[in-house]
C-alpha cells in the first residue's frame, strides 16, 4: 500500500506536470508513458551533468538546453516548446509542493 501511495505522489509531482505542459504547447505525444520516459531520461542526464560540470551556471544552462532537446524529441515538439514544457512543469511542481506543505502543516502532522 505504501508503494502505491509513493508512486501516486511521484506521478502527481513529476509526470503529470510534464503531461499538462505537453498538452498546453500542442505536443504530439502527451501520454503517461512518454512523460514518464522523458522524466527518467532528463533526471538521469541532469545527474550526469551535475557530476561532470563544476560551474553551477554552466551546469544549469546545459541541463536546460539538453532537457529541452530531450523533451522535444520524446514529446514530439520543437525545442522552444520543449523548453516551455519544462517551465510549465516546474511552475506546476512548485505549486503542488506548496499545496502539499500547506496541507501537512495545516493538519498538524508536524510534531514540534
- Reported as a single tens digit per residue, the pLDDT across 1-15 is 788 888 888 777 889
82: confidence class by pLDDT, cuts 50, 70, 90: very high
Whether 82 is in a domain gets the answer yes
Whether 102 is in a domain gets the answer no
Whether 99 is in a domain gets the answer no
Domain count, the chain: 1
Model confidence pTM above 0.85: no
Provide the phi-psi class of 76: left if phi over 0, else alpha when psi is between -120 and 50, else beta: left
Whether 98 is in a domain gets the answer no
Whether 47 is in a domain gets the answer yes
Domain around 68? 8-92
Whether 1 is in a domain gets the answer no
Amino acid at each position: 500500500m505504501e508503494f502505491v501511495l509513493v508512486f501516486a505522489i511521484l506521478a502527481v509531482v513529476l509526470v503529470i506536470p510534464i503531461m499538462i505542459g505537453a498538452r498546453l504547447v500542442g505536443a504530439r505525444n502527451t501520454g503517461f508513458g512518454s512523460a514518464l520516459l522523458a522524466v527518467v531520461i532528463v533526471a538521469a542526464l541532469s545527474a550526469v551533468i551535475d557530476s561532470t560540470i563544476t560551474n553551477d551556471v554552466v551546469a544549469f544552462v546545459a541541463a536546460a538546453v539538453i532537457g529541452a532537446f530531450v523533451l522535444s524529441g520524446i514529446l514530439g515538439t520543437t525545442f522552444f516548446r520543449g523548453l516551455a514544457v519544462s517551465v510549465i512543469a516546474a511552475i506546476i511542481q512548485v505549486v503542488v509542493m506548496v499545496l502539499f506543505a500547506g496541507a501537512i502543516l495545516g493538519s498538524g502532522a508536524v510534531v514540534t
